């Protein structure tokens, strides 16, 4: 490479913390050594979610003028803290790392070098050649981590997209799509919304957390699924919406049959039960559609939307029936295989349902 170390870009190291007071002195010591050895222009932003565990005292006792502690009392959460850090940062590069010393500060200069050489996004990775992890994971946690990584495949081919150790140019979030991550995979959000092209993974040794315990619960993992859903809507737009809509429709078939079974069990007359089951399935579809693919429509009142949805579903049923009749008429062979005509009818009905729901019932503002 040959360039002198002073040519490395200036960096704001953003460290989200929640109850990491015991880790901060060791973290600061290691970052300070890297900072001095490489003559870095480096500030550190500790984005703390009001831990009340002595974090404020610990930072004050360290007394370093290149460290800023920002205590956050609203909009808590790891991702939100990092995005907040982006806004407070003053240097050319934004570098995010954990406070618990799982991420080696000694890798920072190499990350900066890669950015200087033209990378958009540099990731500290456990799963590229030379990377490793010290965590003694049980088989369940391992499967869990692999599954989470696999689910991120439609968005990235990175080996370790779950990593929270990454660096970008400060200009990147400014030109990225608006970010609204839920949960804690802020790196993935930045990668996708930032339209990063030149992505580099460099190996790290991921150490066991130094002190304290992990904050990442089952709740965070469920939020990860919601995060993926939102990313898919961002990246695949109406295709993802249509997929969700179809899954909701499929769930409606099961709701219909389950409701019918129950109603008949409670001795409702069969014909009435069939009608009631259809209605219940429609209600369930409505609620799920408003929760998932058309969540943006929740700002408006649900009652007119419900009437619209029922009307659209009826029109869809009409389109289904009408199409089937047309196929039977123009393709008499299907009279012997009415399932073919019915299947094409179902597709037409779904398409009609989707279009009406998307463009009329839950019209985008």
Applying CB under 5 A, which residues contact Mn ion? Answer: 100, 102, 209
Q: Which is nearer to ligand GDD, 206 or 309 (CB)?
A: 206
Q: Shortest distance, CB of residue 215 to ligand GDD, whole angstroms?
A: 4
Q: Does 17 bind ligand GDD (CB under 6 A)?
A: yes
Give yes or no for a contact between 186 and 121, defined as CB atoms under 8 angstroms apart. Answer: no
How far apart, in whole angstroms, are the C-alpha atoms of residue 179 and residue 173?
Answer: 9
φ/ψ region of 36 (left if φ > 0, alpha if ψ in -120 to 50, else beta) reads alpha
* Residue 345 contacts residue 324 (beta carbons within 8 Å): yes
Nearer to ligand GDD by Cβ, of 215 and 363: the residue is 215
Supply the minimum distance, in Å, between the C-beta of residue 209 and Mn ion. 4
Find the binder of ligand GDD among 45, 77, 113, 249 (CB under 6 A): 77
Strand 67-71 and strand 166-169: the pairing is unpaired
Among 55, 125, 163, 284, the residue binding ligand GDD under the rule CB under 6 A is 163
Residue with nearest beta carbon to ligand GDD: 164
- Alpha-carbon distance of 70 to 88, in angstroms, equals 9
Residue with smaller CB distance to Mn ion, 55 or 102: 102
Residue 76 interacts with ligand GDD (CB under 6 A): yes or no: yes
Helix, strand or coil for residue 253?
A: helix
CB 201 within 8 A of CB 128: yes
Pick 46 or 273: Cβ nearer ligand GDD: 46
Q: How far is CA 98 from the centre of its chain?
A: 19
In the numeric block, the tokens 């099961």 are attached to: 254
Position among 12, 55, 102, 357 found at the interface with ligand GDD (CB under 6 A): 102
Binding site for ligand GDD (CB under 6 A): 16-18, 20, 47-49, 76-78, 81, 98-100, 102, 162-164, 209, 214-216
């Amino acid at each position: 490479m040959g360039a002198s170390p002073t040519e490395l870009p200036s960096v704001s190291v953003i460290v989200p913390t929640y109850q990491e007071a015991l880790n901060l002195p060791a973290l600061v010591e290691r970052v300070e050594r890297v900072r001095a050895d490489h003559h870095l222009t480096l500030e550190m932003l500790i984005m703390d979610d009001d831990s009340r565990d002595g974090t404020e005292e610990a930072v004050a006792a360290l007394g370093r003028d290149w460290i800023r502690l920002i205590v956050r009392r609203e909009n808590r959460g790891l991702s939100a803290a990092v995005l907040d850090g982006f806004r407070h940062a003053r240097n050319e590069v934004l570098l995010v790392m954990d406070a618990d010393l799982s991420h080696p500060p000694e890798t920072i200069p190499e990350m900066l070098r890669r950015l200087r050489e033209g990378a958009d996004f540099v990731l500290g990775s456990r799963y590229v050649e030379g990377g490793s992890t010290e965590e003694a994971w049980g088989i369940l946690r391992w499967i869990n981590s692999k599954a989470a990584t696999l689910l991120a495949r439609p968005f990235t081919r990175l080996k370790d997209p779950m990593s929270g150790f990454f660096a970008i140019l400060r200009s990147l979030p400014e030109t990225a799509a608006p970010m609204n991550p839920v949960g804690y995979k802020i790196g993935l959000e930045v990668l996708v919304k930032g339209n990063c092209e030149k992505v580099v993974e460099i190996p790290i040794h991921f150490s066991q957390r130094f002190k304290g315990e992990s904050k990442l619960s089952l709740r965070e993992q469920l939020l990860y699924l919601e995060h993926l859903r939102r990313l898919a809507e961002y990246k695949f737009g109406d295709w993802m919406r249509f997929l969700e809509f179809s899954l909701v429709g499929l769930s409606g078939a099961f709701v219909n049959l389950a409701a019918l079974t129950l109603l008949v069990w409670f001795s409702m007359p069969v014909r009435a039960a069939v009608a009631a089951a259809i209605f219940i399935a429609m209600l369930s579809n409505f609620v799920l559609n408003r929760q998932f693919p058309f969540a943006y429509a929740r700002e408006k009142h649900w009652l007119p939307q419900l009437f619209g949805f029922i009307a659209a579903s009826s029109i869809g049923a009409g389109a289904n029936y009408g199409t089937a009749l047309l196929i039977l008429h123009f393709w008499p062979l299907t009279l012997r295989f009415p399932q073919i005509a019915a299947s094409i009818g179902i597709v037409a009905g779904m398409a009609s349902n989707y279009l009406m729901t998307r463009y009329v019932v839950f019209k985008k503002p």
